[in-house]
Structure 1
C-alpha cells in the first residue's frame, strides 16, 4: 500500500512514523509546502528503520500551491491523509480555523486526487467535521472514500479519562482495559461520550463510578484537546497521528474494524446531508457500514445538538463549497 500524508507538521510526521513502524505500507510520501521540512522528517524516520525493523520507504516532497506537478510523486496512492492547515493555539476553538483551513484543504485534496483518483481520504484538519463535508462535496466522491478522524481520537481520550477515574475509585485500569466510544461532532462543546456503552473488561462503568465521577470524565473528554493545547502551546499530535494511522491500517488490512468516524449520513440516525461522528465498520472499501446503536434519551438529545452545531459550522463554509 502507498499512503500520502499531506502536511509534515507534528501530526503529519507522526502519522508517517506510525505507518512506517506498522509495516503494512510499502511507501509513505510526506508532503508539505515548506522546502526541507518533509524531506528532513522523512529522513529522520528512515534512520530508525534498522532499529525498529521496518522496510517501508518514507520520502519527503515539497509541493507549492501553484506548482501543478508538485503532487506527482504521490501518484497512485491508496490512501491520502490530510493534516494540513493551521493548528489550534491556546484559547482557539476548532471552529475558529474554518476560514483559513477550508481553502487549504480544498486545494490539497484537489491536487492529490489529480494523481490518485482512486484514493481514500482521511481528514484530520480542523474543524474536522466541516472539512470532511467540504471534501465530500468538492470531490463528489462516494461517501465510503471520505472519512474524518475525530471519533477515534475522542474515544481514546474518553478511555484515558475513564481509566483514571476507575483507578481513583479503586478499580485499577489502563486505557487498554476500557471500552468507550464518542460520537457526534469533533468539538469541545458538542461531542457525545457514550457513558451508557462504556465498560471495564465487560463491566458497565455505571456500576463502578458515581454519576459525579462520570460527569467529570465526560467534561474532561470534551475539553481533552483544549487541555493539551494549553499545556503544549499547540494542538496535540501523538494520539491524533496514531488514530489516523489506525484508520489507514483498518483499510489496508480489510480489518472490518468498528471505529467511530466522521462520515456522510444519508438517513442514518435520522439525519442526512452532513458529516458527523458515528460508529463505523472500516475495511478495504473504506466505510463498509454505519452501525446504528440505540441512544438513551439524554444521549440522543445531545447527539441532535451536535448535529445542529455541525450544520451551523457547515453554513460558514460559504464560497468554499461553490
Structure 2
C-alpha cells in the first residue's frame, strides 16, 4: 500500500505495454503507479508525461518512473512486462532464452523488494516465463499468474463480433491453454446474444476464427514490422489488476498454477479462475468433453516442453 493510502501497482518494463497499462491505471484513479526500467530517463520521462495529464483527466494518483527496483517496495501488485518483443516470422517460443534471463533478474528483485505482492506476468513466452517468476520468487502460487487468456479471449470475441456485425458486449466466450499456437478457444461455451455460437455460424467460419485467434499476435507483429501488440495486452492486464484491487471475484481466463485440475499438475496453464484480493482464489473448472480436454492437455504438454527448455538452458542457474 502506498503512503497515500491508495493501492500501489508497480510495472516492471516501461515500454509500450507497461506505459499504456500505467496510463489506464492512472486514468481510472485505481492506484498509485511505479514504472521501473533499466533505460535511464525513459521511465522518468513517461511518468512525467502521464503526470502532466492529471489536470486534464482529473485524478491525484502518484506516477513514478525509476531505474531503482527499491521503489517497488510495498506494492500490492507487480506486473512484469520486461522482455524483447517478437519480430515478423518469430513465434513466442523463440523468445525463451532472452526473456527467461530477463525474467530471472526481475524475479530476484521482486523477491528482494516486494515479496508480499501479487504478480501478474505478461512477457512471452508467457506460460514458461510465469514458471521462471514462480521458481525464483518462491511466492505462494495463488499470488502468481500470467496474463494471456483475457487477451486471447478478447481477440476471439472481437473476431466473432466483426464476423456477425454485432456488439462485442453481446459475445461471450473464452480461450484456455497455453498462450501460443496450441491455445484452446471453446466454441461450445461461446454465445452471441445468449445463443450458442455453433447455432449462429457454420463450422468452417468458426474454424477460421479459431485459427485467426491463435495467430492474432503474429498478425499484428507482421503489420507493425517492428514491435508487437500493446493496446489490447494492456487493457487485458488492467482488467486483471482491477479485479484484484477491487476484490471483484471476476471469473477470468488466466495462466494459473494447476495442481491436478484437468489432469494437469505443476504447470501454469490458461484456465478460468476467480480473481480477488488474494489473487487466484479458485480454479473455475469447466466441464470439458473428451475432445476439448484432450486439446487442453495437448496445450499443457507444449507448456511442459517450454519449461523443460528453461531447465535445459539453465535459466534458473
TM-score range relative to shorter protein: over 0.9
CA contact (8 A) 1:132 1:263 kept: no
Partner of 1:201: 193
Partner of 2:316: 321
* Whole-Å separation in 1 of the counterparts to 2:223 and 2:149: 22
Count matched residues. 308
CA contact (8 A) 2:110 2:137 kept: no
**DSSP-derived class of the 2:240 partner:** helix
The structure 2 residue matched to 1:165, chosen from 160, 163, 166, is 163
* Whole-Å separation in 2 of the counterparts to 1:198 and 1:182: 10
Partner of 2:41: 36
CA contact (8 A) 2:178 2:270 kept: yes
CA apart distance, 1:71: 1.2
CA apart distance, 1:113: 2.5
In the alignment, does 2:23 pair up with 1:17?
A: yes
CA apart distance, 1:175: 1.7
CA apart distance, 1:307: 0.8
Partner of 2:206: 214
Unaligned runs of 5+ in 1: 63-69, 168-172
Partner deviation per Cα, 1:30-60 (whole Å, 9 max, x = no partner): 1100011101111111122122222211110
CA contact (8 A) 1:158 1:217 kept: yes
* Whole-Å separation in 2 of the counterparts to 1:220 and 1:209: 15
* Whole-Å separation in 2 of the counterparts to 1:22 and 1:243: 14
- After superposition, residues 43-122 of structure 1 pair within 5 angstroms as 43-62=48-67, 70-122=68-120
**DSSP-derived class of the 1:316 partner:** helix
* Whole-Å separation in 1 of the counterparts to 2:234 and 2:90: 20
In the alignment, does 2:184 pair up with 1:186?
A: no
* Whole-Å separation in 1 of the counterparts to 2:149 and 2:231: 15
Structure 1 length-normalised TM: 0.94
Partner deviation per Cα, 1:42-92 (whole Å, 9 max, x = no partner): 111112212222221111002xxxxxxx21122111100000011111111
CA apart distance, 1:218: 0.3
Partner of 1:239: 232
CA apart distance, 1:281: 0.3
Unaligned runs of 5+ in 2: 1-6
CA apart distance, 1:150: 0.4
* Whole-Å separation in 1 of the counterparts to 2:22 and 2:111: 19
In the alignment, does 2:267 pair up with 1:274?
A: yes
CA apart distance, 1:256: 0.1
Deviation >4 Å, runs of 4+:
none
CA contact (8 A) 2:95 2:124 kept: yes
* Whole-Å separation in 2 of the counterparts to 1:321 and 1:260: 27
CA apart distance, 1:304: 1.5
**DSSP-derived class of the 2:59 partner:** coil
Further displaced range: 247-256 or 42-51: 42-51
CA contact (8 A) 2:275 2:282 kept: yes
CA contact (8 A) 1:181 1:193 kept: yes
C-alpha RMSD of matched pairs (Å): 1.0
**DSSP-derived class of the 1:161 partner:** helix
CA contact (8 A) 1:113 1:119 kept: no
* Whole-Å separation in 2 of the counterparts to 1:250 and 1:155: 16
CA apart distance, 1:184: 0.1
* Whole-Å separation in 2 of the counterparts to 1:96 and 1:245: 26
Further displaced range: 294-303 or 197-206: 294-303
- After superposition, residues 237-316 of structure 1 pair within 5 angstroms as 237-316=230-309
* Whole-Å separation in 2 of the counterparts to 1:281 and 1:232: 34
Structure 2 length-normalised TM: 0.95
CA contact (8 A) 2:9 2:76 kept: yes
CA apart distance, 1:297: 3.0
**DSSP-derived class of the 1:29 partner:** strand
CA contact (8 A) 2:13 2:82 kept: yes
